[in-house]
Structure 1
Amino acid sequence: MFILLLLIGAFSKLYGQTDQEVKPKSDFWKQVQFGGGFGLSIGTGFTDITLAPNAIYNLNQYISLGAGLQGSIVSQKDVFSSIIYGVNAITLFNPVEEVQLSIELEQVRVNNTFRNPTTGTKKDDFWNTGLFIGGGYRMENVTMGIRYNLLYNEEKMVYTDAMMPFIRVYF
């Protein structure tokens, strides 16, 4: 009887140790979504290529925080060329399933080159900060909407207008 109690005690002690060694799995990656944007515009003597990968972390069903990179190459033959690259941080708010509101802070480096047959080539390199507020209609992982740059500066040759349409896709 003593040996039986000893074996049961040893077995329960071994079983209890295996339960404690199992570590809970992290749900972090279940809350992360990847996506961003891609733009391509090609015409006679004009090219605009943009790539903007992004990742967001869903805090809950209403709020997401994210960050991303972006890069653009824009050129018009014999007129100008521009290389833009930088980073951004974004907060998304979904008050209801179909509506997405956003605030986005962007910091980009702009390298512009202007060509003029009479005056020659002029370079204009600078940093630009954008602060965008936006809203859009959301269908599952795609949002289409419009955003407005609160820090828009007409003299900086980054964007042609303070208001811009967007399409966001996250997987």
Structure 2
Amino acid sequence: MKENSVKILTKTLPFLFFILTNIGIYGQTDVPAHPKSDFWKHVQFGGGFGLAIGSDYTDVTLAPSAIYNFNDYISIGTGLQGSIVSQKNYYNSSIYGVSIFTLFNPVEEIQLSLEVEQVRVNNTFRNTTTGTLKDNFWNTGLFVGAGYRMENVTVGIRYNLLFDNDKSVYSEALMPFIRVYF
């Protein structure tokens, strides 16, 4: 019987030694249970806000956006846009939509951009002689732009390659912009 116990012990001790040393080794490693992502370190938020109030005229625009910086040169982003324009007893318009864009910074001070924008335009015109006219349509814009960049602010100009003078939410193909990201 003693011989059997020695055999079992000689077989069991190496196994127990192996298990206990491995538990000790894994217990000493500093591996987090959930590796931390650095995704949010590359994300910036910003956008635009516009307000124009005059005699019987109101124009309010809100356009939040976010970008992901792949590196110092290339960013990709998306944005929302909402706008309400009203001229008392004559004109009402609501505009809402989305955009996707890419920013390229060949040098620190210069920012080039390419943006696709899709907005829904709902216009209502009122006239005492002709009545009410509604003009609702989708407007797609493809903008190329260039700007001067100062840290998180870019001031520039963009051009709508798909501009149609008869069916556009914008009055001109060329328009200035100010872009701010935090």
TM-score, length-scaled by structure 1: 0.90
CA distance in 2, matches of 1:138, 1:21: 39
Q: Secondary structure at the match of 1:29?
A: helix
Aligned to 1:80: 91
Spell out the pairing of 1:9-20 with structure 2 (5 A cutoff). Answer: 9=21, 12-16=24-28, 18-20=29-31
Task: State the match for 1:115 in structure 2.
Answer: 126
1:87-142 CA deviation, whole Å, 9 max, x = no partner? 00010001111111101100000000011111111000011100011111111111
Equivalents in 1 of 2:177, 2:23: separation in Å? 62
Secondary structure of the corresponding residue to residue 159 of structure 1: coil
> Gaps (5+ residues) in structure 1?
none
Q: Provide the rounded CA distance (Å) in 1 between the counterparts of 2:44 and 2:121.
A: 28
Q: Percent identity among equivalent residues?
A: 69
Cα distance in 2, alignment partners of residues 85 and 10 from structure 1 = 60
Question: 1:15: how far off?
Answer: 2.9
Letter in 1 for 2:77: G
Q: Which has the larger radius of gyration?
A: 2
CA distance in 2, matches of 1:58, 1:35: 13
Quote the residue 2:106 is aligned against: 95
Q: Does 1:161 align with 2:172?
A: yes
Q: 2:77 aligns with which of 55, 63, 66?
A: 66
For the aligned residue pairs, the C-alpha RMSD in angstroms reads 1.8
Give the SS at the match of 1:55.
Answer: strand
1:38-53 residue pairs with structure 2 within 5 A?
Answer: 38-53=49-64
Distance 1:62 1:107 in 2: 26
Alignment match, 1:138: 149
Distance 1:27 1:14 in 2: 25
Question: Structure 2: which 5+ residue stretches go unaligned?
Answer: 1-12
Higher strand share: 1
Contact 2:139 2:168 survives alignment (8 Å)? no
The aligned amino acid for 1:13 is I
SS class of match (2:162): coil
Separation in 2, partners of 1:10, 1:123? 76
Q: How far does the alpha carbon of each residue in 1:119-167 deviate from its partner, in whole angstroms, 9 at most, with x for none?
A: 1110000111000111111111111111111111111251111111111
